[in-house]
Amino acid sequence: SETAVTGITTSSATVSWTTNEASNSKVEYGPTEDLGFSKTVTTLVASHSVTLNGLSANTAYYYSAVSTDASGNIGRNDQNSLTTASSAGSTKITIPPPQTIIKSVTDTAAPGISITTNFSKPFEQPPLISGRATDAYGIAAVEYSTDGGVNWLPTDKLTSPGKKSTTFNFVPILFDDGNYQIVVRATDGSGNRGVSKIYTLVIDRLPPIVGSALISIGPLVLTPNENGQLVTISGVEHKVILSAAGGPVTIDLLIDNHVHSFSRSHETGLWNGAVIFAQSGFYELIVKAKDGGGNVTERRLTNVIVLDPGQLEGVDKGTITVYYQEPASKVWYLWDSRSFGQTNPRSFKDGTYSLFLPAGTYYLKISAPGYKTVTSSIFRLDSTAPINTDFTLEKISPFSIFDLFRSQEVKISESQPPAEINPLLGKRALIFFLPAIEGTFESVTLRGHSSVLSFVNTWSDSSIEQISILDKFPRPNQIGTVVVQDNLSRIKILAKRGEYDLNLAVDEDGLLVDDFGIFTLPTHVFMDRKGVIKRVVPGVLTEEEIEKNLLDIL
């Protein structure tokens, strides 16, 4: 607004003006245009009046009126001048100034954040995390992250939103043991964000527990044999996936004094690694896990029998062709190997080859230029298995016009130590209680008739296939299905999406893995009517196979 100068004396003058909102009052003045002096009244008002004292008589002074509101916005008029009186008296002088120009102050300062929670020791449960956020122009929001700033959630409580200083607290939404990267950010009214340093929160309710393992060659999943051992071929890369609970931060697979370190997938929570067995032999797989609290556990996973590749005597290069019999029509077809990550026919060199075939009925044809073609006998596989039979190819002589083919039997030589007897066989199964989709699952309810306890997971195709088969079993009172190392809410979602009626139980921590000696999933524990364990069968079982096992142990 206009400024008015009144009460001019030989040593003082009063400057007055108005503003459109409450603000403080300040006059900058001086005998030159550089000013150099100022007087401020901090009270926020719309009508302003500032008296300047200690002025010299009969002297010209330059001055400028300034007002600042609570948000820091500044209003300033152009510079004007006044002259003090040469003798006592008072004269009113009105100077019409130009339009007052309001200049907005840009707030670029980020809020400050401090966290008072002590993260030096592990917590058994997610703790209450507290702190304070400050900003000269007020705090609008405070959020937190448990993954180092990838995803954000609002704090549970913000005591004084909009104020320059506010406290906050929250209990992070966490379900599993592990190391979590806690970071907090605050946002002020101008949109500036301040971010705290990253704190490591360790949730350590139980020691690390490695659950089930899935070992595959490409898309082909290896299933243990009847002795609980895996059979494979040297020189082939094996993908290994492990589930775990208890918040491990490192997992290593120990094989014959070699350490294979695994990495954790943030998307699935599963641990992934790869193993190549350089030589044939008998190997014991030991898994070692360490959590954020310093707890270390070791567990024997399984034994692996590693075979040499098949030998093709008398020839270096050629092709092997696999033929597959369609079960319903009994018609033979060229085996479709693409979905199993292999080629058919496949070339071999250096006189060696290796094949991995899923369950089915097959025969092989081995050919090489200048050699008699060898056709194998027909053979059947009940589960995925390596083929390493040695074949001998004979050269074609000038007199072998009609004798161009020969036949040879297919054999898989599993040179192995004596089979171990499962220590669970003949023992009464552990009685346990687990949360389930429908209340609580009690294992004792399986007694009184032959029964099967099936252990599965939610992340492997074979387990999902097995759940679908179990869901259709006509006598659900004879089966119990336990999902290992998962949580009930996810199990309920799975059941709803799959439209399963099966009452799935969940072993969140995977404590039953050791109790029942489980290595891979699915695995089935068959019991008689007294709850005595009679068979432990890994792999996917059809309804007919489940029925047969139950009838066999009546």
- Looking at residue 77, its pLDDT comes to 82
Angle at 480 between CA 476 and CA 481, to 5 degrees: 110
The strands making up 433-436's β-sheet, listed across from edge to edge, are 439-442, 433-436, 505-507, 479-484, 451-456, 523-527, 533-538
How do the domains of the chain map onto residue ranges? Answer: 3-103, 112-203, 209-307, 312-408, 433-552
Listed range (29-38, 102-111, 461-470, 533-542) with the worst mean pLDDT = 102-111
Return the CATH number of the domain spanning residue range 433-552: 3.40.30.10
- Looking at residue 100, its pLDDT comes to 46
Listed range (74-78, 408-412, 428-432, 540-544) with the worst mean pLDDT = 408-412
Q: What is the pLDDT confidence band of residue 389, given thresholds at 50, 70 and 90?
A: confident
| CATH topology match: 112-203 vs 209-307 | yes
- Looking at residue 94, its pLDDT comes to 45
Listed range (75-89, 221-235, 383-397) with the worst mean pLDDT = 75-89
Say if residue 472 is exposed, middle or buried (CB neighbours under 10 Å; 0-12, 13-18, 19+). exposed
- Looking at residue 479, its pLDDT comes to 96
pLDDT at residue 402 above 80?
A: no
- Looking at residue 418, its pLDDT comes to 54
Residue with more model confidence, 504 or 384: 504
- Looking at residue 322, its pLDDT comes to 95
Task: Return the CATH number of 3-103, one of 2.60.40.10, 3.90.930.60, 3.40.50.12500, 3.40.190.10.
Answer: 2.60.40.10
Among candidate residues 228, 218, 348, 232, the one with its CA nearest the CA of residue 280: 232
pLDDT at residue 494 above 50?
A: yes
- Looking at residue 407, its pLDDT comes to 58
- Looking at residue 398, its pLDDT comes to 62
Say if residue 91 is exposed, middle or buried (CB neighbours under 10 Å; 0-12, 13-18, 19+). middle
Task: Tell whether omega for the bond before 309 is within 30 degrees of 0, i.e. cis.
Answer: no
- Looking at residue 43, its pLDDT comes to 85
Among 273-277, 342-346, 388-392, 400-404, top mean pLDDT goes to 273-277
| pLDDT, tens only, 410-434 | 565 544 455 567 888 999 999 999 9
| 3-class DSSP state of 360 | strand
pLDDT at residue 92 above 50?
A: no
Widest distance between CA atoms in the chain:
145
Q: How far apart are CA 252 and CA 287, in angstroms?
A: 6
- Looking at residue 529, its pLDDT comes to 94
Architecture of domain 209-307: Sandwich (2.60)
pLDDT at residue 203 above 50?
A: yes
> What does pLDDT average to over the chain?
87
| Domain spanning 112-203: CATH 2.60.40.650 | yes
Listed range (183-187, 401-405, 435-439) with the worst mean pLDDT = 401-405
Average of pLDDT values for 113-123?
93
Task: Return the CATH number of 312-408, one of 3.30.70, 1.10.3110, 2.60.40, 1.10.3470.
Answer: 2.60.40
- Looking at residue 263, its pLDDT comes to 96
- Looking at residue 293, its pLDDT comes to 83
- Looking at residue 553, its pLDDT comes to 87
